[in-house]
């Protein structure tokens, strides 16, 4: 028996899609994402419908297609009783009410742009989770709900990922939001929704990688035995590897302009720190090139080179196949190159150690380690000014299935692919027509990440 909607939620649509004559489905959404990507000039699949939305009504919670807002426990409970709604939608997580103030002095709520793009391109519905407003009572449960949809997009915001105090003033605190990000990073299993972490989301993911690795090391080092390892061989191998990870992490410095800004992986600015200069406006996306710097351990560089050669991260292929890519940057903090290289090396080292020991690990308190990423690849960088770079502008997070060895991917992006060059949100500006979206580099990148992530 279907769960009835409460009076305040009667406007929630239970039939997915709003532009087409027929309901949308995961298969139709995926096909239309592919149709959008195959060229830059084919017509909209929804003729006459790409100016459907009244700007004055294009606000979350006001009218379709933005009516689905999970702003508290009641809405989450309602949604858990309507799995068909979640299954056919993209989830958008807001850690903050806006992603910043643009040059016109406007607050930019970029989550609306994500929803608009997905609806116009593929008639894919969106559900908003404003965790700054609702808080995160149960990160594991919320992550499980999010992972059951088409995809999850974690948006940006003003706070600094290295300063918990900057998250004050809203219900979603620093630890609550980071706890959710950690759970999302552990939820990329077969058939689960890919995640795309944007701007602050990209930075929070970097912090969460380091925290997960610290948690893994602590869990291994304090464990006395594994049930299927009576001689202690498997546990000894894991402990040696974790001691190596802890030793490198403790000594690794983060340098900017030749100065150390963080010493070791326990420093609050190890994963994320202020960029040398604020970066706002259009930038050309360029392939990642590692700094030739003696403070970077060779094994970190070698492991990243191996991953880059072994795996295809979508963004690297796009950089080589598409024309010059121009995207909108809007940030003053950045993910540190050293932290990203370290996390990639540590994840892969842990994974390769666990492979022959996975059965012992699977029936132990360490079983959650099987959900960790396999590797992280830095995909691109942008030039802020001469000799000043955002070295980690995008990453691909790889997961390798233990038995089939199939690869799944999630992605992070420092820039906002959903924003046009004017850095305004839909509602304050007219919605771009389908042809404009189809020729926009950032939008094409966002769609391509969703298209490939949904296949896994």
> Tell me, what CATH number does 332's domain have?
3.40.50.880
Closest of 185, 184, 157, 179 to residue 170, by C-alpha: 157
290 located within any domain: yes
What is residue 9's predicted lDDT score, i.e. its pLDDT? 55
**Cα–Cα dist 423/292, whole Å:** 34
Percent of the chain predicted with pLDDT > 70:
96
287 domain-assigned: yes
Q: Is the pLDDT of residue 424 over 60?
A: yes
- Model confidence at 271: pLDDT above 50: yes
Examine residue 2 and state whether it is found in any structural domain, yes or no: no
SS3 348: helix
Q: Is the pLDDT of residue 1 over 60?
A: no
Closest to 164 in 3D by CA, of 185, 146, 143, 178: 178
Residue 387, in any domain of the structure? yes
State yes or no: pLDDT of 297 exceeds 90.
yes
Distance of CA 100 to the CA centre of its chain: 18
Residue 10 has pLDDT above 70, yes or no: no
The pLDDT confidence band at residue 3, using thresholds 50, 70 and 90, is: very low
- The reply to whether 110 falls in a domain is yes
Position 5 scores a pLDDT of 52
| Number of structural domains found in the chain | 1
pLDDT in tens, 23-75: 999 999 999 999 999 999 999 999 988 766 777 789 999 989 999 999 988 89
Average pLDDT score over the chain: 91
**What's the pLDDT at 323?**
64
Confidence of residue 2 (pLDDT cuts 50, 70, 90): very low
Is residue 23, in this structure, part of any structural domain at all?
yes
The verdict on residue 137 lying in a domain is yes
| Average pLDDT value for residue range 128-146 | 95
Instruction: Report residue 285 as tokens.
Output: 């996306």
Residue 447 lies in a domain: yes
Domain hosting 167: range is: 7-453
């Amino acid at each position: 028996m279907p769960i009835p909607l409460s009076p305040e939620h009667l406007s929630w649509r239970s039939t997915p899609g709003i532009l087409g004559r027929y309901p949308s489905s995961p298969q139709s959404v995926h096909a239309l994402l592919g149709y959008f990507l195959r060229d830059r000039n084919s017509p909209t699949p929804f003729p006459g419908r790409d100016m459907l939305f009244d700007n004055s009504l294009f606000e979350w919670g006001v009218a379709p297609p933005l009516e689905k807002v999970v702003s508290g426990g009641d809405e989450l409970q309602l949604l858990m009783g309507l799995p068909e709604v979640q299954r056919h939608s993209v989830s958008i997580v807001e850690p903050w009410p806006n992603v910043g103030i643009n040059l016109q002095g406007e607050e930019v709520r970029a989550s609306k742009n994500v929803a608009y793009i997905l609806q116009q391109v593929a008639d894919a519905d969106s559900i908003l989770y404003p965790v700054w407003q609702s808080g995160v009572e149960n990160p594991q449960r919320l992550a499980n709900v999010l992972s059951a949809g088409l995809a999850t997009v974690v948006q940006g915001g003003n706070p600094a990922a290295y300063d918990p105090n900057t998250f004050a003033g809203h219900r979603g605190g620093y630890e609550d939001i980071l706890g959710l990000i950690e759970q999302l990073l552990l939820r990329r299993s077969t058939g689960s929704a890919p995640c795309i972490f944007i701007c602050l989301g990209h930075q929070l993911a970097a912090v969460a990688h380091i925290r997960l690795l610290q948690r893994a090391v602590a869990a291994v080092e304090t464990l006395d035995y594994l049930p299927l390892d009576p001689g202690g061989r498997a546990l000894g191998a894991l402990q040696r590897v974790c001691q190596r990870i802890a030793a490198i992490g403790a000594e690794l410095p983060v340098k900017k302009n030749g100065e150390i800004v963080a010493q070791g992986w326990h420093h609050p600015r190890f994963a994320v720190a202020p960029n040398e200069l604020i970066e706002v406006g259009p930038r050309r996306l360029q392939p990642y090139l590692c700094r030739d710097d003696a403070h970077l351990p060779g094994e970190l560089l070698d492991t990243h080179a191996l991953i880059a050669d072994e795996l295809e991260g979508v963004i690297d292929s796009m950089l080589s196949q598409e024309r010059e890519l121009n995207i909108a940057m809007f940030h003053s903090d950045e993910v540190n190159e050293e932290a990203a290289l370290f996390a990639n090396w540590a994840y892969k080292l842990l994974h390769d150690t666990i492979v022959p020991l996975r059965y012992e690990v699977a029936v132990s308190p360490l079983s959650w380690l099987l959900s960790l990423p396999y590797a992280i690849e830095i995909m691109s960088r942008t030039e802020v000014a001469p000799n000043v770079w955002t070295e980690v502008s995008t990453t691909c997070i790889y997961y390798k299935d233990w038995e089939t060895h199939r690869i799944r991917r999630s992605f992070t992006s420092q820039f906002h692919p959903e924003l046009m060059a004017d850095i305004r949100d839909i509602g304050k500006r007219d919605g771009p027509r389908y042809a404009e979206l189809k020729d926009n580099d950032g939008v094409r990148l966002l769609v391509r990440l969703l298209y490939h992530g949904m296949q896994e």
